[in-house]
Chains A and B, each alone.
Chain A
Amino acid sequence: MSDDEKARLDAAMAAAGEVILGKPQEIRLALACLLARGHLLIEDLPGVGKTTLAHTLAAVLGLQFQRIQFTSDLLPADILGVAVYDQESGRFHFQPGPIFAQLILADEVNRATPKAQSALLEAMEEQQVSLEGETRPLPRPFFVIATQNPSCQIGTFPLPESQLDRFTMRLSLGYPDPRAERALLAGVSRRQMLEGLAPLLDAPSLLALQARVDRVHAAEALIDYLQALIAFSRQSPHFVHGLSPRGGLALLQSARAWALLGGRDHVTPEDVQAVLPHVVVHRLQPAAEGMGGEELVGLLQSVPIP
Chain B
Amino acid sequence: MSGAGRLHGLREDLREGVGSYLRRALAWRWRLVDPARLWLLAALCLSLLPHLGRLPWLLILPAMLLLAWRLAFELRLARLPTRGLRWLLVGLALAATLGSYQTVLGRQAGVALLVIMLCLKLMEMQRPRDVAVVIGLNYFVVITVFLFDQSLLMGAYMLLVVILITTALVALSRPGSERPPWADLRYALVLLAQAAPLALLLFVLFPRIDGPLWHLPEEAAGASTGLSDSMSPGNISRLGDDDAVAFRVQFDGPLPPPGQRYWRALALTHFDGRRWSNPDSAPHQRPPARNLDLQVNGTAVDYTLTLEPHQRRWLFALDMPVSLPRQSSLSPDFELLAREPVASVQQYRLRSFPDYRLQAQQAPDAARYGQLPAAAAPRARLLAARLWAESADAADYVQRVLALFRQQPFYYTRRPPHLADDPVDGFLFDTRRGYCEHYASAFSVLMRAAGVPARVMTGYLGGETNPLGDYFMVRQSDAHAWVEVWLQGRGWVRVDPTAVIPPARVEVDARGADGLRIPGLDALAGSGWAQAVWRRAGFAWDNLNHYWNQWVVGYDRDSQATLLQALGLGDLDAQGLAAVLFTALGGVLGVLAWRVFRRGGLRRDPVALAYARFCAKLGRRGLARGPAEGAEQFSRRLRAARPDLAPQVILVTRLYQHLRYARHPPRDGLQRLQAAVRRFHP
Residues of A within 8 A of B (CB): 217, 219, 221-222, 265-270, 273, 301-306
Residues of A within 8 A of B631 (CB): 268-270
> Do residues B661 and A273 form an inter-chain contact, with CB atoms below 8 A?
no
Contact B633 A270 (CB under 8 A): yes
The one of A221, A302, A303 in contact with B661, judged by C-beta atoms closer than 8 angstroms, is: A221
**A305–B629 CA distance with the chains assembled, in angstroms:** 7
In this complex, which of A219, A222, A267, A304 has the most chain B Cβ atoms within 10 angstroms of its Cβ?
A219
Contact in complex: B605, A221 (CB < 8 Å) = yes
The answer to whether A268 and B632 touch across the interface, beta carbons within 8 angstroms, is yes
B649 to chain A, nearest CB (A): 15
Give the nearest-CB partner of B630 in chain A: A270
Complex partner residue of A304 from B605, B627, B662, CB under 8 angstroms: B627
CA distance A222 to B661 in the complex (A): 7
Residues of chain A with a CB closer than 8 A to B662's CB: 217, 219, 265-266
Question: Please, how many angstroms separate the alpha-carbon atoms of A195 and B496 in the complex?
Answer: 126
Residues of B within 8 A of A219 (CB): 660-663
Q: List 25 A-B contacts (CB under 8 A).
A: A217-B661, A217-B662, A219-B662, A221-B605, A221-B608, A221-B660, A222-B661, A265-B662, A266-B663, A267-B661, A268-B630, A268-B631, A268-B657, A268-B661, A269-B630, A269-B631, A269-B661, A273-B628, A273-B630, A304-B600, A304-B628, A305-B628, A305-B630, A306-B600, A306-B601
- Chain B residues whose CB sits within 8 angstroms of the CB of A222 once the complex forms: 661
Q: Give the residues in chain A near B627, CB-CB below 8 Å.
A: 302, 304-305
| C-alpha gap A82/B662 in the complex (Å) | 49
Q: How many angstroms from the CA of A60 to the CA of B101 in the assembled complex?
A: 91
Query: CB-nearest residue of chain B relative to A265?
Result: B663
Q: How far is the CA of A267 from the CA of B663 in the complex (A)?
A: 10
Q: In the complex, which residue of chain A has the Cβ closest to the Cβ of B633?
A: A270
> What are the residues of chain A within 8 A of B661 when measuring CB–CB?
217, 219, 221-222, 266-269
- Docked Cα-Cα span, A21 to B277, in Å, equals 116
Q: List, in ascending order, chain A residues with CB within 8 A of B657's CB.
A: 268
In the complex, what's the smallest C-beta–C-beta distance from A72 to chain B, in angstroms?
44
Question: In the complex, what residue of chain B is closest to A267 when comparing beta carbons?
Answer: B661
Residues on B with C-beta less than 8 A from A270 are 630-633
Q: Give, as a whole number of angstroms, the nearest-CB distance from A157 to chain B.
A: 37
Q: Does B628 lie within 8 Å of A301, measured CB to CB?
A: yes
CB under 8 Å from chain A, chain B span 600-634: 600-601, 605, 608, 627-633
Residue of B nearest to A222 (CB): B661
Q: What are the 8 A-B residue pairs with the smallest beta carbon separation, nearest first? A: A304-B627, A217-B663, A270-B630, A266-B662, A269-B630, A219-B661, A270-B632, A266-B661
Query: In the complex, what distance in Å separates the CA atom of A78 from the CA atom of B660?
Result: 50
Q: Taking CB as reference atom, which chain B residue is nearest A274?
A: B630
The complex places the Cα of A82 from the Cα of B661 at a distance, in Å, of: 50
Contacts of B628 in A (CB 8 A): 273, 301-305
Interface contacts beyond A217-B661, A304-B628: sample of 17 additional A-B pairs, CB < 8 Å, sorted by A: A219-B660, A221-B608, A221-B660, A265-B662, A265-B663, A268-B631, A268-B661, A270-B631, A270-B632, A270-B633, A273-B630, A273-B633, A301-B628, A304-B600, A305-B627, A305-B628, A306-B600
**How far does the Cβ of B627 sit from chain A's closest Cβ, in whole Å?**
4
Shortest Cβ distance from A270 into B: residue: B630
Interface centre among A269, A273, A303, by most B CB within 10 Å? A269
CB distance from A271 to the nearest CB of B (A): 9
Query: What's the least CB distance linking A227 to chain B, in Å?
Result: 13
Complex Cα spacing A269 to B629, Å: 9
Q: Which residues of B contact A221 (CB under 8 A)?
A: 605, 608, 660-661
Please, which residues of chain B bring their CB within 8 A of the CB of A267?
A: 661
> A134 CA to B9 CA in the complex, in Å?
58
B260 CB, min distance to chain A CBs, angstroms? 73
CA distance A22 to B109 in the complex (A): 87
Residues on the A chain within 8 Å of B601, using CB: 306
Q: For B658, list chain A residues within 8 Å (CB).
A: 266
Max chain A C-beta neighbours (<10 A), residue from B601, B628, B632, B663: B628
Q: Which of B557-591 contact A (CB under 8 A)?
A: none
In the docked arrangement, what's the CA distance between A266 and B664, Å?
10
Cα-based distance from A305 to B600 in the complex (angstroms): 12
Specify which of B605, B627, B630, B661 lies most central, judged by the most chain A CB atoms within 10 Å of its CB.
Answer: B661
Residues of B with C-beta under 8 A to A306: 600-601, 608
- Distance of A105 from chain B, by nearest CB (Å): 34
Question: Chain B nearest CB: distance from A138 CB in Å?
Answer: 32
Q: How far is the CB of A160 from chain B (nearest CB, A)?
A: 31
Smallest Cβ distance from A266 to chain B, in angstroms? 4
Docked Cα-Cα span, A301 to B629, in Å, equals 8
A25 CA to B303 CA, complexed, in Å: 88
- Measured in the bound complex, the distance between the Cα atoms of B628 and A270 in whole Å is 10
Q: Given the complex of chains A and B, what is the CA–CA distance between A267 and B661 in angstroms? A: 7
Report the minimum CB–CB distance from A249 to chain B (whole Å): 18
Q: Please, what's the 1-or-0 string for B656-677, where 1 marks a CB less than 8 Å from any CB in chain A?
A: 0110111100000000000000
Smallest distance from the beta carbon of B682 to chain A beta carbons, Å?
A: 21
Chain B residues whose C-beta falls within 8 Å of the C-beta of A217 in the assembled complex = 661-663
